[in-house]
Amino acid sequence: MLTPALRDAAYRWIADDPNPGTRAELQALLAAALAGGAPGDAAAAELADRMSGPLRFGTAGLRGPVRAGPSGMNVAVVRRATAGLAAWLSGRGDGGRPVVVGRDARHGSEAFAQAAAEVLAGAGFAVHVLPEPLPTPVLAFAVRRLGAVAGIQITASHNPQADNGYKVYLADGAQLAPPADAEIEAAITAAPGAFSIPTAPARTVLDPVEDYLSRVASLPRGGARGLRIALTPLHGVGGRAAVHALSRAGFTDVHVVGSQAVPDPDFPTVAFPNPEEPGATDALLALAAEVDADLAIALDPDADRCALGVPGPDGTWRMLSGDETGVLLGDHLLRCGGYTDPLVATTVVSSSMLGRIAQAYGARYAETLTGFKWIVRGGPGLVYGYEEALGYCVDPDAVRDKDGIAAAVLAADLLAGLRAHGRALLDRLDELAAAHGVHLTAGVSLRTEPAARDAVVARLGAQPPQGWEIDRPAPDVLRLRRAGERLVIRPSGTEPKLKAYLEVVEPVTDGLDEARARATDRLAALRAEVGDLLQEA
């Protein structure tokens, strides 16, 4: 039912929307709601959902469906968000200084990037716009290279095709983090209607791609280059940059999945453009088997995440988990890097094996909350950070965020060196397990409403299960430990889910196969226990 308050709110938003397309979209929905009847009730419900915003700052910025209204991604929302960011920067004494604006190839990205750039220019900032749809790590690199006070990347990363987003980087080149997010959100709330926000043309084009590629090409530690690679950018913007980066690093035998090579905002060959999702890498692994590749690489659509696929002893291909790749790259960097007092970091929900690897090399180790906004702020001397969700920061001095392209080049370097000695990535994983114990991880999700999931966390925090030691890395995060096992429980930041992250550690005392079998059994038992625990709570 269309209430007077909802009707008036829609009228006000329409009057302030500077974009004819979304203005007409909301006008049509309002007219249908005003007509009444069953179709009118459905339109009123849709209108209420559109007007239920505003979008809130989550993972380093805004993310939501491309549609009209305050709860969607559209030009009006982007203008107000940018006006709030500009006001916050000016309040810190950074007015007039450089800001970089980039975008991916999703629906609306070009218009949203232009809207952000014009608002920043209207506020007096020196705006530098990237010349075309480019990977998110290129934007993060450009912020540090230019000495900008902020960067904005229009992207929804690996979200479904209906979404887009607005990611903010600060002067250190890292993602937006508290308390800046709340302060900027307050400035957005105080911003005028989008139609009233001053704008100006923004014409300065910045092309950092050559410098970025040169930096990434310098990452390999070894001299071996004999490697055949299959690669997919999953219809995103990372394919060309990844092929060029690999080529400059000496890896020229690269085969790209043809049906997924060109940026396409509809992601026609995958149900969900995330390398973690079942089926997303089927075409990649088929190509890898067809060309007899040594390594398969999947980037997510904005190329800040990287997934690796490898052939098993029987020739069957499989994707490595984020934790498997994470410890491989961390070990490679510490073994070959020649650092002075290095720090490596991961999150409280990732494998703890990285800590044991760091100890073996005399390196410092940190565990942070989830997200790269925390990982890259884990402490001085950071040389590497990763999270289990396929994110790897392998060159923090250049890109202070996850970088799928740089991770791909480093993974190729690692495998080429191993192959030169007749070994493979799975062999190296066996060696790490033998040295540090078998570490198995898994995730369990329970779909539930926010109030219910918060109640679960509160109950388990007040009455932890018998036999577990408990602490709170954050107010809404529980970490439980017992001998050789860890359980982390937290609410999802983007979905109505309660998430549990499981780990078991099994020492290798008799044989690796036997230790893996015991660890597998223990993980299955822990998964069942946790499932019951969450349902009971």
Residue corresponding to tokens 């329409």:
14
Give yes or no for a cis peptide into 465 (omega within 30° of 0): no
Sign of CA dihedral 20, 22, 28, 31: negative
- Token duo for residue 437: 């114990």
- Token duo for residue 240: 């060309």
Q: How far apart are CA 121 and CA 193, in angstroms?
A: 18
| Cα 384 → chain centroid | 16
> Quick one: which H or E segment has residue 29?
helix 20-35
- Nearest residue to 239 via CA among 255, 250, 216, 215: 255
Concatenated DSSP letters for 261-287? SS--TT-TT-SS--TTSTTTTHHHHHH
Residue 157 appears among annotated catalytic residues = yes
Catalytic residue among 71, 90, 109, 157: 157
Q: How many CA atoms lie within 13 A of 401 on its CB side?
A: 33
Q: How far apart are CA 258 and CA 240, in angstroms?
A: 12
Contact 359, 365 (CB under 8 A): yes
Residue corresponding to tokens 């902020």:
150
- CA distances for 440 relative to 351, 427, 516, 530, angstroms: 8, 16, 9, 15
In terms of phi and psi (left: phi > 0; alpha: psi -120 to 50; beta: otherwise), the region of 437 is left
**143 burial class (0-12, 13-18, 19+ CB within 10 angstroms)?**
buried
What angle is formed at CA 414 by the lines to CA 411 and CA 415, rounded to 5 degrees? 90
Determine the length of the chain: 537
Contact 370, 492 (CB under 8 A): no
As annotated, the active-site residues are: 157
